[in-house]
Structures are given as structure tokens and as C-alpha cells.
Structure 1
Amino acid sequence: MRCPPVSYTYFQMVDLTSDRYNLVRGDFPFHSDAGSVLDMTLQGDVNAILAALESKHRRCTYNAMASFLGISLPQLFSALGERRPHASWIVNQNTHKPTKYTKAQEHPHLYDNAQVISSEQELHTFLGQVAGATKSTPLTAYPEAACYGVDGCKGGWLFAKILDGELSFGTVPSIGVLVEKAAEGSRIFIDIPIGLRSKSADARLCDREARQILKPRRNSSVFNAPIRELLSTEDYASANALSKRLINKGISKQSFNIMDKIREVDDLLQGSAKARALLREVHPEVCFWSLAGGIAMEHSKKSEEGFNERLEHIQEYLPNARRAVLGAIDHYPRSNVAKDDILDAVVAAITASYPDRWATLPAAPELDEAGLPMEMVYLN
């Protein structure tokens, strides 16, 4: 199965708060008139949140809801529409009452529950709990095999998906959700270390070879994966101390900062045959190096020049990708998804799309003690 270059792109918006898609977000075609599409999606989000609050007789402050949706207060007031009982669950943070509502406009059960959601995180948790309790909403599987590129983001994982010439984006709270939903025969290429050394100070060969080919400009983007024993630690000081005791070498802050995600993927791979069949490791800078004919990117991915440089190489494979990428940038708040995360996910999905061109660093990957390959896949 090959996922061909994009002929038409669309933007898929997926719920971040639970393992059920479309609780808050739905799928909409992405047109050049992005505003109208996002307005439609925002209205759906607002209505879904209001329904969840009403189902539990729970109030939420204006600031918490606006922050959760990544919009301004005026935008929220506009989306809430006219004063009516269904919209009265959103309240002032000081008075805990809806602003300028009459008694008749308030929901009759508005004050049944004394608890008021007052932060973005509280709302995130609440919606996840409501979703988990909604047994009538099944986990919908993707029926067709697709190519996915995955990168970590705040609150979960961002994925780019290529299926039948279409590019879409979404987020999931755990990689296990994506593995469960993905059809057999799919490919999920992920920017996270897979396969770890145990009690060894030697860097993985794939990390060493990646740094070598990315010299001199992008080699610093590759840092050593932690040893497996460190996955049980809870803070940087403990991880660093244990690393020094076991291998006489500390752990970098970069490695520790993604330790939770490394642990999540490692646990999944050791307990799921399907995950082992679908997941493979990539490094985005190695993928871009391969798309550019063996030349490392000149500019940092955080710079505007670096963003455009990488997008140009993506468009050589996905000519219409710019529209979907810019749509994703407009949709996802920077506090949740960075611009370069979006490009990293797309280049991983592209790499997953050409199995006849796959190569690995190193050419003959080692296996770790759990039988997982220590490799990075790229296109030759």
C-alpha cells in the first residue's frame, strides 16, 4: 500500500481531551476561506462544551472557556450568541453568574452544583471525564490503512495523515489511541526513540549516525536516548543521579523532557503486537535531509527561513500541502502545537508513504533487550 502525493487537502480537527474523536471537534473541508471553516468548528466546540456542562449541571468561567478554545473573550461572547438558558452555564469568574442575564434567561438548575470550573486545565479534565462516562459514544476506527506521521505536543500527540491523496491533521491524548483506531496495514512513523540501551554508556548507533550525516548545521538536533532504567524515575535530579550511578554519565535535559512520552511508547510497544507492527522511529531532520538529497537543512526549524525551507521540500512530495499546513497553524494554539511540530509530522508521514525507498540508520539495526529495533527510518 502506497499513500500517493496529495491532490486535494483537507483539515481534520480532532478532540484533544479524550480517546473519543469528534466529542468537541468535527471534520470540515479546508478551503481558502479558512475563517468560515474555523467559525463553523468553533461553534461546534462551544455547543458541545455547553451540552457537557448542562449534562452535569456545572458552570464554567468565561476566561477558562476562552483559554481552552484559544480565542478572545469577544469571540467567545459572539459564539455564545443570545442570552438563553443553554448558554448560561458560562459565568463571570468573580460573581459565578452569567453576565447581564435575567432570572428567566438562566437555566433552572444553574446553581444546583456549587463547583465552578475556573481554569483551562479544569475544563480539559472535566470534558475528558464526561467523554469517559459517555458509553453510548463508541471509539470509531479508521476503516482504511493510512500513513501517519506523529510528533509530540502539549497534552498528547499531533499526527499528520495521508490517505488516498489527502492530507489531514489531528491530535490524540495518547499514542495508544491512534494505534487502536488505525486500520491494520497502516504505518505510523513517530519522532520518539524506540529501542533503548540498558545500563550502557554507549549511544545508540542510530543517534550517532544521525549526528554524523547532519553535520555541521543540524547535528545538535539529535540527542542521546536515555537508558531504559531511567524510565521509572519521576524527576530530573533522580534521573540524572541514577544515570551517573549506572553508566557514569548524566542525562541531558532534552532527553528528560520527553521521558514521559518515551515511557508511554515503550510501554505500548512491549504490550501490543499491533503497535510493534505499525510503529517505527524517525527523526524529522534526518527525513528532511533525505528529501533534500542528502543535504541537511540550512536554517533552524524555529526560524521563518527554516520553516519555509522545510515546507518547500514537503511540497515537492505534496504539492498542495501548504494550504493544509497553514490551516493547521491557524487552528492549533501555539501553546499546544508549535509550527515546526506540524512540519515534523508531515515529513514523517511522507517517509511512511514510500516503503520501496525505506532505508535505516544504521543499515543493520540493533535490537534492544526487549527486542525493539534501535533505528531511524528515512528515504534513500
Structure 2
Amino acid sequence: MWVAGVDGCRAGWIAVLMRVDDPDASRIMTVARFEAVADAPEQPAVIAVDMPIGLPERTEGSGRRPEQLIRPLLGERQSSVFAIPSRRAVGAIDYADACVIAAATSDPPRKVSRQGFGIFPKIREIDALLRARPDLVPRVYEVHPELAFWALNGREALDQPKKVKGTPYGPGMALRRELLGRSGDLPDGLIQAPPPRGAAADDLLDALAGLTVALDLARGGGQSFPDPPGRDAHGLPVAIWTLRR
């Protein structure tokens, strides 16, 4: 059985694929469309992706329920958990329009962050794919890298940021690589591998974090926030998953 950890990147998506029973059987790939990961020759049975899945019609408070649940666990890293607005707002192509719609479909009214708006095209891509291909829904799980690292760190928030002012921060990157190595799930060559063209080092690191969750899910583990997952108006799951440790 193969699994995959996936993150967005400049090229589109970066994925790390691994066979559950053979860590040396692995590869790193970049693709323009997320569907190419699901349809890769390895046919990964579990795909853990750092991208919101399941969109609300309205939001209450600071985003979806999964986001509200995991922020308190992450300490100073909780700012990395964006508040995802309503489906209508995510569908807006223009930033100003997205803010107007988000404010009108949230209580209290909330606009959209620039960083959050930047990932809307990828959210729309996954949303459209899962709605068009319901056979993929049982295989695709939403994850968040910092929640994965929280689990790998003994369920403690990390004290080092991954980036500072948009630039990868050496000590924080090294800490996360150390946690990945300590997990015992990934070969060191994969953890230390350079990112492929079209992806940054932190994109690869986040995909590797997702891979640890995918491996745990494939082995019968995994923990969802909330538990059990919710469902959006189209039946898509609404939950962020991490390792059960």
C-alpha cells in the first residue's frame, strides 16, 4: 500500500509518496494538478494534504470548527491556521469581493486575510475534484503541518517558527527535521532531500509532515479534530487529522 503527503507549492503541488511496508520505496514529485497525485501510478490509498477540505455555508466565530479546535494546541504557531470563510467567499476571484462576501456570511463579520485568499484557488481545485469524484473522498484527508509536528513533539507546541518574515528559519526547520527523524517512519535521505524545482524547502517539509499522518492513518491510527468529523453541505468531511500519539 502506498500513501502520500501533499502540500501546495509554486509548481502546483508537491507530493511525497511512500510504500507503507518499505520506507525505501518512495519518491518526491511536483504536479500542476492535485488529481495527478490521486491518479499517480502508485495509486496512494491515503493522501494527507495541507489544504482545507469541506467548506461552510456560514462561519461562526474564528473559522471552521477544526481551526477553532487546533489553534489553542499550537501556542505561538496558531497564526499559521487560517480562518477559512464561507464557500461563496472562497469562490470569489477578486479579493475585495471575497472580503465583502466573507463579512456578510460570518458572525461576527470577518474579512479575508491576504494569505488566506492566496490559497483559495487550490481550495477550489480540491473542492471541485472531490465533488466530481466522490470515489476519492475516502482517500483524501486534510492535515496541518504544525498539528502533525505538535503530535510528533509529544503533543507540545513547537517553540521555534518555521519561517520568519516569509523566509525559512534555520533552527525551526532543523527542529522539524529532527522530529521527523525521531518518528522513525521516514528514512533520513528523504528528510534531508533537496526540494524539486518549483517547490521550496518548507513545502517539502510540510509534505513530509503530512506523510507521517498518512502513514499513521494507513496503519489504523489517526486522530481528527473534531472527532467525529463534520460534513459540509455537499457531504465532504470537515476535519483536520494528525497522528494518534
TM class, shorter-length: 0.7 to 0.9
Q: Deviations over 1:42-79 (max 9, x none)?
A: xxxxxxxxxxxxxxxxxxxxxxxxxxxxxxxxxxxxxx
Which structure shows the higher strand fraction?
Answer: 2
**CA 1:280–1:158: 2 relative to 1, 3 Å:** same
**Equivalence for 1:201:** 60
Alpha-carbon distance between aligned partners in 2 of 1:185 and 1:250, rounded to the nearest angstrom? 37
* Cα distance between partner residues in 1 of 2:188 and 2:177: 7
Alignment partner for residue 350 of structure 1, among 207, 212, 215? 212
**2:227 alignment partner, SS class:** strand
Asked if residue 171 in structure 1 is aligned to residue 33 in structure 2, the reply is no
Alignment check: 8 A CA contact 1:204 1:225 kept: yes
CA distance in 1, matches of 2:210, 2:2: 13
TM-score, structure 2 normalization: 0.88
> 3-state SS of the aligned residue for 1:165?
strand
Number of corresponding residues? 231
- What is the DSSP-based 3-state SS (H/G/I as helix, E as strand, rest coil) of the residue aligned with 1:357? coil
Map 1:236-275 to 2 at 5 A: 236-247=95-106, 248-275=109-136
Matches for 1:334-373 after TM superposition, within 5 Å: 336-355=198-217, 356-373=220-237
- Structure 2 distance, partners of 1:183, 1:311, is 25
| 8 Å CA contact retained: 2:185, 2:212 | no
Q: Give the Cα separation in 2 of the matches to 1:378 and 1:232.
A: 27
Quick one: structure 1 residues 188 and 289, their matched pair in 2 at CA, closer, same or farther if it must change by over 3 Å? same
Aligned amino acid, residue 368 of structure 1: D
With a CA cutoff of 8 Å and minimum separation of 6, indicate the structure with the bigger relative contact order: 2
What is residue 289 of structure 1 aligned with on the other side?
150
SS at match of 1:354: helix
Aligned pairs for 1:296-307 (under 5 A) are: 296-302=157-163, 303-307=169-173
- In structure 1, list runs of 5 or more residues that go unmatched: 1-144
- Matching of residues 111-150 of structure 1 within 5 Å: 145-150=1-6
Cα pair 1:150 1:348 within 8 Å, conserved = yes
Letter in 1 for 2:88: E
Q: Please tell me whether Structure 1 or Structure 2 has the larger radius of gyration of its CA atoms.
A: 1
- Deviation at residue 372 of structure 1 after TM alignment: 1.1
Retained in 2: the 8 A contact 1:314–1:321?
no
Match of 2:86 in 1: 227
Q: CA RMSD in A?
A: 1.8
Taking a change above 3 Å as real, the CA distance of residues 369 and 320 of structure 1, as seen in their structure-2 partners, is closer
Q: Which runs of 4+ in 1 moved over 6 A?
A: none
Report the Cα distance in structure 2 between the residues aligned to 1:350 and 1:369, rounded to whole angstroms.
30
Aligned residues with identical type, % of pairs? 30
Q: Taking structure 1 as the reference length, what is the TM-score of the superposition?
A: 0.58
Change (3 A) 1:157 1:291: same
SS of equivalent residue, structure 1 residue 224: coil
Q: Alpha-carbon deviation of 1:182?
A: 5.4
Distance 1:185 1:192 in 2: 17
